[in-house]
């Protein structure tokens, strides 16, 4: 028998083994079999099928009993994975108990099996993502506090602006992580919804036992029973995809910032080093931001996948043709990409290397110009805003033209020295004294993180 090709060469870089296992062939099949076993138990509970049929059905609901190669080939003809799997399941049961086989899949449809199996997989995936986000939040909170007062150049439009702190920058990352955790917690009850509607969503095949069976099935699988089946109402799945898209984008922001801070010209913050990490095939000196690359890659790939799910929402009538099919690999891939990005973000957050002296040196690259605003604000209260702004603008131009430090130019300007002493100028041009509410932002972000954990 031919073997299915293995196309997971990059998995160790872009995702995690645990997440890939959830969405492996075995994971997908087991999710569907869990539905079938739960359905048998639920129908026995309400007297729809005999209790003695449950054990043979459950015994056959183990993924390792099935040939995934043969299942994959059958899917190409059947059009979905449930049809051939239910046939295989029936044969497996009949081999040990022919009587029990007649009660398999009773009242359900293929999409019930696949969607509920997917929900079970997604909840397992969500547990991994939530745990990693929690760990990432802890690591970022520690780093934000550690560097709450570490000055570095703020950058707007990729140019030096006024000073900020590294802790303030990290607190921004932390806030986004906390908000994503909040969103996931809010949507989780909606996501954890049983799909069970039968052929067209009415559960007509089960008669007056339909609702009791549906309730029992939801309880067996530890899912919520929604107000109605959702075969072509896909908002629950798209909501999860959307929030995971936000997670990917927020992690991409971390990756972008880290990669820019690692640039040779900046050299302020680095990913943790490790043997062989970030090297070049030809340049021995290279230290490439390989972790940040995964974060940026995921942030680039995930939005397109989320768009696919949005595009697949206008599904036809009670069962979709093609739009439903477009979801099958899309949502799992989003989960895998986000999981991989989280692993790289954790490595960065836990082991980032910080060169605070280089930050101070870079802050002075413009020879005091980044603190011109600080002087202008004080002078505005004494000379008026327009006059102060014009005066500082002229001093800055003179400093650039003469390649001198702004402090020296200001110290020679009579209109400045008439208002400000040398000590006042020294203080105003010290980055440590122009950090505003940077430390407050850190405290607030960390407090919100801890509040969510409580």
End-to-end CA distance of the chain: 54
Task: List the Cα angle 153/157/162 in 5-degree steps.
Answer: 30
Which candidate, 407, 414, 410, 420, places its Cα nearest to that of 379?
420
Rounded Cα distance between 438 and 168, Å, is 5
Residue 186 parent element (H or E) = helix 166-191
Rounded Cα distance between 31 and 38, Å, is 11
* Per-residue model confidence as pLDDT tens for the chain (454 residues): 344 555 677 777 788 899 999 999 999 999 999 999 999 999 999 999 999 999 999 999 999 999 999 999 999 999 999 999 999 999 999 999 999 999 999 999 999 999 999 999 999 999 999 999 999 999 999 999 999 999 999 999 999 999 999 999 999 999 999 999 999 999 999 999 999 999 999 999 999 999 999 999 999 999 999 999 999 999 999 999 999 999 999 999 999 999 999 999 999 999 997 665 555 455 555 578 889 999 999 999 999 999 999 999 999 999 999 999 999 999 999 999 999 999 999 999 999 999 999 999 999 999 999 999 999 999 999 999 999 999 999 999 999 999 999 999 999 999 999 999 999 999 999 999 999 999 999 999 999 999 999 8
Asked if 104 and 218 touch (Cβ cutoff 8 Å), the reply is no
Asked if 212 and 46 touch (Cβ cutoff 8 Å), the reply is yes
Q: Which of 96, 200, 280, 311 is an active site residue? A: 280
Asked if 221 and 194 touch (Cβ cutoff 8 Å), the reply is yes
* Paired strand residues for 193: 224
Rounded Cα distance between 191 and 239, Å, is 8
Rounded Cα distance between 403 and 223, Å, is 69
Which candidate, 345, 359, 395, 447, places its Cα nearest to that of 132?
345
Helices H, strands E: what count in the chain? 21, 4
Asked if 438 and 145 touch (Cβ cutoff 8 Å), the reply is no
Sheet strands (E) in 22-169: 151-156, 159-165
Report how far apart, in Å, the C-alpha atoms of 191 and of each of 116, 219, 236, 326, 394 are.
10, 15, 5, 19, 60
Enumerate the H helices of 328-437 as residue ranges: 330-351, 356-363, 372-383, 385-402, 406-412, 414-417, 422-428
Report how far apart, in Å, the C-alpha atoms of 82 and of each of 76, 108, 200, 276 are.
12, 11, 16, 45
Q: Which of 183, 319, 358, 427 is an active site residue? A: 319
Asked if 431 and 363 touch (Cβ cutoff 8 Å), the reply is yes
Q: Please tell me the pTM assigned to this model.
A: 0.93
Which candidate, 206, 194, 236, places its Cα nearest to that of 38?
194
Active site residue 280: yes
Q: Token digits for 373?
A: 């605003």
- Measured torsion, CA atoms of residues 195, 198, 204, 205, in degrees rounded to the nearest 10: -120
């Amino acid at each position: 028998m031919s073997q299915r090709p293995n196309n997971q060469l990059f998995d160790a870089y872009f995702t995690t083994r645990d997440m890939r296992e959830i969405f492996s062939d075995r994971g997908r099949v087991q999710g569907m079999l869990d539905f079938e076993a739960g359905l048998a138990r639920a129908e026995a509970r309400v007297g729809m099928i005999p209790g003695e049929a449950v054990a043979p059905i459950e015994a056959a609901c183990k993924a390792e009993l099935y040939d995934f190669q043969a299942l994959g080939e059958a899917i190409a003809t059947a059009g979905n994975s449930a049809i051939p799997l239910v046939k295989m399941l029936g044969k497996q049961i009949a081999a040990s108990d022919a009587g029990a086989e007649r009660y398999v899949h009773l009242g359900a449809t293929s999409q019930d099996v696949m969607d509920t199996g997917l929900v079970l997989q997604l909840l397992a995936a969500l547990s991994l993502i939530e745990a990693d986000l929690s760990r990432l939040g802890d690591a970022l909170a520690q780093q934000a506090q550690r560097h709450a007062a570490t000055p570095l150049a703020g950058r707007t439009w990729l140019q030096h602006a006024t000073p900020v702190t590294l802790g303030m920058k990290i607190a921004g990352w932390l806030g986004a992580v906390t908000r994503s955790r909040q969103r996931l917690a809010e949507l989780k009850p909606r996501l954890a919804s049983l799909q069970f509607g039968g052929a067209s969503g009415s559960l007509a095949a089960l008669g007056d036992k339909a609702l009791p069976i549906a309730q029992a099935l939801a309880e067996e699988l530890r899912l919520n029973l929604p107000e109605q089946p959702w075969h072509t109402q896909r908002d629950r799945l798209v909501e999860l995809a959307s929030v995971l898209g936000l997670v990917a984008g927020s992690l991409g922001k971390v990756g972008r910032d880290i990669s820019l801070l690692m640039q040779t010209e900046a050299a302020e913050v680095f990913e943790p080093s490790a043997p062989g990490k970030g090297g070049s095939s030809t340049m021995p000196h290279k230290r490439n931001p390989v972790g940040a690359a995964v974060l940026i890659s995921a942030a680039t790939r995930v939005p397109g996948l989320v768009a696919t799910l949005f595009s697949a929402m206008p599904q036809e009538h009670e069962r979709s043709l093609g739009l439903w099919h477009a979801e099958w690999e899309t949502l799992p891939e989003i989960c895998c990409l986000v999981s991989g990005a989280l692993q790289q973000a954790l490595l960065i957050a836990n082991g980032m290397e910080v060169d605070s002296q280089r930050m101070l040196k870079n802050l002075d690259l413009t020879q005091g110009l980044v603190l011109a605003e600080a002087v202008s604000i004080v002078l505005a209260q004494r000379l008026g805003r327009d006059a102060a702004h014009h005066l500082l603008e002229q001093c800055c131009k003179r400093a650039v033209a003469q390649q001198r430090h702004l402090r020296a130019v200001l110290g020679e300007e009579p209109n400045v020295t008439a208002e400000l002493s040398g000590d006042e100028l020294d203080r105003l041009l010290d980055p440590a004294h122009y950090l505003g509410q940077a430390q407050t932002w850190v405290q607030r972000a960390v407090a919100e993180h801890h509040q969510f954990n409580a």
